[in-house]
Amino acid sequence: GQQLNQSPQSMFIQEGEDVSMNCTSSSIFNTWLWYKQDPGEGPVLLIALYKAGELTSNGRLTAQFGITRKDSFLNISASIPSDVGIYFCAGQSGGGADGLTFGKGTHLIIQP
């Protein structure tokens, strides 16, 4: 089956630093999504990407859909304490015929 490799597994950073995380896939996806999950909550959609090469921003967050369609990255600029959480990448293939395949998550910890 499809596999997503998400890295890093965890990040310990200082408040105000920029953050970068990425996902690579063994197969091509048509859609890449990035979610954030807080403890005890469900994943919340941050950014959706639909086209190879697409670069999309949502406030301090920027995500890109890789040209090869097998990777994506998420950047967070000027991190703040509320950015703490687990970030998941997710890919979808088959024009929506398949459900999302999730990475294992990047746990972001911010030290004030």
Partner 1 sequence: EAGVVQSPRYKIIEKKQPVAFWCNPISGHNTLYWYRQNLGQGPELLIRYENEEAVDDSQLPKDRFSAERLKGVDSTLKIQPAELGDSAVYLCASSLTPGSPLFFGEGSRLTVL
Minimum distance between the CB of residue 2 and partner 1, rounded to whole angstroms? Answer: 11
Which is closer to partner 1, CB of 39 or CB of 59? 39
What's the min distance (Å) between Cβ of 40 and partner 1? 8
Query: Beta-strand (E) ranges in the chain?
Result: 4-7, 10-14, 19-25, 31-37, 44-49, 55-58, 61-65, 71-76, 85-92, 101-102, 106-111
**1 within 8 A of 96, measured Cβ to Cβ:** no
Binding site for partner 1 (CB under 8 A): 4, 6, 30-31, 33, 35, 40-45, 48, 88, 90, 92, 95-105
Closest separation between CB of residue 78 and partner 1, Å?
A: 26
